[in-house]
Amino acid sequence: MSLNLIRDRQLVAHDYPLLADDAALPASGKLTVTLARWRQDGEALRAPGLEVGVRIPNTVDVADIWAEISDRPMINLEFPGFADGRAYSQARVLRDRYGYRGEIRASGGAVVRDQLHGMARCGINAFELRPDQDPQVCLGAFEDFGLAYQPAADHVTPVLRLRGRR
Amino acid sequence: MYRYDSFDQQLVDDRVAQFRGQTQRFLAGQLPEDEFRSLRLRNGLYIQRFAPMLRVSIPYGLISSKQMRMLGHIARKYDKNYGHFTTRQNIQYNWPKLEQVPDILADLASVQMHAIQTSGNCIRNITTDHLAGAAADELVDPRPYCEITRQWATFHPEFNWLPRKFKIAFCATETDRAATRLHDIGVFIVRNAQGELGYAIYAGGGLGRTPIVAPKIRDFLPELDLLSYLEAILRVYNRLGRRDNMYKARIKILVKETGPAKFTELVEAEWAKIRDGELKLTPADFDRIRQHFDEHPYAADAAADASFDAAVAADSAFAAFVKRNVKAHRVPGYKAVFVSLKAPGVAPGDITAEQMELVAQLADDYSFSEIRSTHDQNLVLAEVRQQDVYAVWKALKAHNLATPNIGLLTDLICCPGLDFCSLANAGSIGVSDEITDAFESMDDLYDIGEMKIKMSGCMNGCGHHTVGHIGILGVDKKGEEWYQVTLGGSAENDASLGDRTGPSFDRAHIVQAVERIIEVYLEQRSSEDETFLKTYRRIGMAPFKARLYADEAVAA
């Protein structure tokens, strides 16, 4: 399946494909594994030549697993549907509390044009667009608002502080 | 009145453009209906039984005369000439056309108004005392605190997709007039033993199917830590609130199932990590927000007026209005005048475009161009010189807005019910009309005194029935409308939830049931000073039950 990927506001080729839990490990390359697989095969997955991102369930407390995933180049968060915004908080904890500097990627059914702006504000910088999404329309989402009332992981200066500078 | 600066205006304008784009994509078939639904809800737009319904935000119930005129204009241009004030201090329109909503939002933005986050599972309008700034028993004006919270909550990227809707209220007075402990978060502005300003924080209150009075989770939060603490509560809720069952998704269920002590621990642990971060406020932040509010030029000699007392003595109808609809103001010589939206024959909270324009004009002439909406679905001109109250009353009376019933039986809270709402099981407006009719004589009402009847057309409890002195809940039984009755609820400082009387009443007997409750009260009260609530708490349910179910046939 070809997924459209936006990274740092650019449309790029999809990478870090998800490896099924029962699939054999490739010898090299970028891939994503589930947290369960990561826990099971952590040693093998750290082999030279492999670049492994981890997809974490949106039900886990990031504090409980941070030590296990802190050195990963990519952490994949789940956004299964419009009604389930748990991973927004996971993203902020990763960026704000732990200062994670790798890629935070959003995947799932809610990765659509109208959620991207909020995701970006929470520190997510890569988006696996749902297949029905027009990537060009999605790129416009980042321009919806030029200002923000509250501080978040994107480090936009909130309006309250802008007022103080005038 | 909070006045927008260019930042506030830019954000609201950007939102209108964003929603216009979403509406266009939906109408062009490029946005799935269920996803557009989530987006339109966050812009106040429901699809109701007959038509879309648009809920416009009125932050902490404060409206300028210019805004009120725009609300009247919208009622004329896009609706059927009226609007409906809600228990959330907002206003709803029942007949807008979907494709016109972006234009309505643009009209609202032109007077610094919007419909942002008036629905959907996000942080809703912040509410407080409708007499804020004018109340004599106020520690500080709560509105700058509400506004700073409103701004933090507006488009909060992390909390736009919560398990369920989320409501925050502020109270800064001795008498709680905002039902503060019945909110997801209730903030009481207080001073600690050292005289420092801060907050007592309550969490997990709410109405609806499982009504709960919020427990206190923090005795004292320093003034500058408000937003970080709110963020900590919301983060815990976003992570742990139930998403498997929408009826168990409110924070009240999380607090109850976790236990208030354990919940508090989770919040405190989260807060410890963020309290000294970017959300830490400074005294200058509060000063800047306060500067957006006008200082009213009160007349120093207002109290010298003798005409007010003379008019009360000379005109018994005016005296009745003053007794019920006029409240004290912190400034000598000024009064808060309540505009009743509960006239007989009118759905509670309904107001026509002409009435809106009249109220706007009265605000310009007599009340520093400001109006407040109350969570009892009335309006207040809160800054009237006592010498002008008589003229205000005359004008209100001529427009059917001076029914002297504030806090009385006919001042009942009511949701739109089956007449408008697709969720409702039962009609509530017709019943409220009948109860009003049954007690039309104002003399009867004065004998009864303070009584709040609250009615909802369904379990969602938009009419706050569980905290009515008498609560009425519409239920559907095999396609027929039935009504459950509760007694002894209160939304004030002594907050309590009503007790069920027993089996519900059918449409033909519900008004009679209310009459019987009143009869028992009038017979049993120790004096005219003992309110219904006090009497109920003293004598309990048994005498009411005996009268209500004396003849078996009426209830099932």
Task: Report the candidate in B290, B303, B359 with the shortest Cα–Cα distance to residue B329.
Answer: B303
Outline where DSSP puts E strands in B211-254: 216-222
Task: Report the candidate in B517, B519, B401, B529 with the shortest Cα–Cα distance to residue B453.
Answer: B517
**CATH number of the domain within which A39 lies:** 3.20.20
* CATH architecture label of B413-554: 2-Layer Sandwich (3.30)
Outline where DSSP puts E strands in B370-508: 370-373, 379-385, 413-414, 453-456, 470-477, 480-487, 499-500, 505-506
Question: Cβ–Cβ of B159/A88 closer than 8 Å?
Answer: yes
Distance in Å, alpha carbon of B39 to nearest chain A alpha carbon: 8
Distance in Å, alpha carbon of A115 to nearest chain B alpha carbon: 9
Among left, alpha and beta (phi > 0; psi -120 to 50; other), residue B345 is: left
Q: Would you call B29 an interface residue with chain A, using a CB distance cutoff of 8 Å?
A: no
Question: Cβ–Cβ of A145/B155 closer than 8 Å?
Answer: yes
Q: Would you call B534 an interface residue with chain A, using a CB distance cutoff of 8 Å?
A: no
Q: Would you call A118 an interface residue with chain B, using a CB distance cutoff of 8 Å?
A: yes
* Residues in B 142-161 with any Cβ partner in A closer than 8 A: 148, 151-152, 154-161
Question: Cβ–Cβ of B158/A160 closer than 8 Å?
Answer: no
Is this complex scored with an ipTM above 0.95? yes
- Write down the domain spans for chain B: 6-109, 143-289, 302-398, 413-554
A150: CB partners within 8 A, 6+ apart? A158, B151, B152, B155, B156, B157, B227, B279
Q: How far apart are CA B75 and CA B389, in angstroms?
A: 28
Q: Tally the domains of chain A.
A: 1
Q: What is the DSSP string of B355-376?
A: HHHHHHHHHHHHSTTEEEE-TT
Condensed to tens digits (0 to 9), the pLDDT of residues A105-124 reads 999 999 999 999 999 999 99
Torsion of CA B373, B459, B125, A106, to 10 degrees: -170
Helical axes B226-240 vs B143-153, angle rounded to 10°: 40
Question: Cβ–Cβ of B7/A97 closer than 8 Å?
Answer: no
Q: Are A140 and A9 in contact (CB under 8 A)?
A: no
- Chain A residue numbers touching B274 (CB-CB < 8 A): 96-97
* Residues in A 88-107 with any Cβ partner in B closer than 8 A: 88-89, 92, 96-97
Question: Cβ–Cβ of B162/A164 closer than 8 Å?
Answer: no
**Residue of chain A whose Cα is closest to the Cα of B245:** A83
Q: Would you call A81 an interface residue with chain B, using a CB distance cutoff of 8 Å?
A: no
Distance in Å, alpha carbon of A133 to nearest chain B alpha carbon: 9
Q: Are A74 and A53 in contact (CB under 8 A)?
A: yes
Q: Would you call B3 an interface residue with chain A, using a CB distance cutoff of 8 Å?
A: no
Q: Residue B419, class by beta-carbon neighbours within 10 Å (0-12 exposed, 13-18 middle, 19+ buried)? A: middle
Amino acid at B541: M
CATH 3.30.413.10 at B143-289, yes or no: yes
**Residue of chain B whose Cα is closest to the Cα of A84:** B161
Q: Would you call B276 an interface residue with chain A, using a CB distance cutoff of 8 Å?
A: no
- Compute how many other C-beta atoms are within 10 angstroms of the C-beta atom of residue B550: 9
**What number of C-beta contacts closer than 8 Å exist between A and B?**
102
Question: Cβ–Cβ of A159/B151 closer than 8 Å?
Answer: yes
- Considering CB atoms only, which of A112, A148, A151 is closest to B279? A151
Distance in Å, alpha carbon of B165 to nearest chain A alpha carbon: 11
Q: Would you call A159 an interface residue with chain B, using a CB distance cutoff of 8 Å?
A: yes
Q: Would you call A141 an interface residue with chain B, using a CB distance cutoff of 8 Å?
A: no
Question: Cβ–Cβ of B278/A164 closer than 8 Å?
Answer: no
- Take residue B138 and report the two structure tokens written for it: 């106020």
- Considering CB atoms only, which of B14, B31, B277 is closest to A146? B14
- Chain A residue numbers touching B278 (CB-CB < 8 A): 151, 158
pTM given for the model: 0.85
Q: Helix and strand tally (H, E) in chain B?
A: 18, 20
- Chain B residue numbers touching A147 (CB-CB < 8 A): 7, 10-11, 14
Structural fold of domain B6-109: Sulfite Reductase Hemoprotein; domain 2 (3.90.480)
Q: Would you call A60 an interface residue with chain B, using a CB distance cutoff of 8 Å?
A: no
Q: How far apart are CA B3 and CA B532, in angstroms?
A: 42
Sites in chain A below the pLDDT cut of 70: 1-3, 166
Question: Cβ–Cβ of B285/A164 closer than 8 Å?
Answer: yes
Q: Please, what's the b/e burial string for B3-18 (b: 16 or more CB within 10 A of its CB; e: otherwise)?
A: eeeebbeebbebbbeb
Per-residue pLDDT of chain B (556 residues; tens, 9 = 90+): 899 999 999 999 999 999 999 999 999 999 998 899 999 999 999 875 556 789 999 999 999 999 999 999 999 999 999 999 987 789 999 888 889 999 999 999 999 999 999 989 999 989 999 999 999 899 999 999 999 999 999 999 999 999 999 999 999 998 888 889 989 999 999 999 999 999 999 999 987 667 789 999 999 999 999 999 999 999 999 999 999 987 789 999 999 999 999 999 999 999 999 999 999 999 999 999 999 998 899 999 999 999 999 999 999 999 999 998 999 999 999 999 999 998 877 778 899 999 999 999 999 999 999 999 998 889 999 999 999 999 999 999 999 999 887 766 556 666 555 444 544 544 555 676 667 656 544 345 556 667 788 887 666 666 678 888 989 888 877 777 788 999 999 888 788 889 999 999 988 888 888 888 988 988 888 887 788 999 999 999 999 999 999 875 554 4
What's B212's DSSP letter? B
Question: Cβ–Cβ of A160/B151 closer than 8 Å?
Answer: yes
B211: CB partners within 8 A, 6+ apart? B182, B461, B466, B467, B497
Question: Cβ–Cβ of A85/B155 closer than 8 Å?
Answer: no
Distance in Å, alpha carbon of B152 to nearest chain A alpha carbon: 5
Among left, alpha and beta (phi > 0; psi -120 to 50; other), residue B239 is: alpha
Domains B6-109 and B413-554 share a fold: no
- Chain A residue numbers touching B230 (CB-CB < 8 A): none
Q: Would you call A6 an interface residue with chain B, using a CB distance cutoff of 8 Å?
A: no
- Considering CB atoms only, which of A83, A147, A152 is closest to B158? A152
Structural fold of domain B302-398: Sulfite Reductase Hemoprotein; domain 2 (3.90.480)
Q: How far apart are CA B303 and CA B286, in angstroms?
A: 32
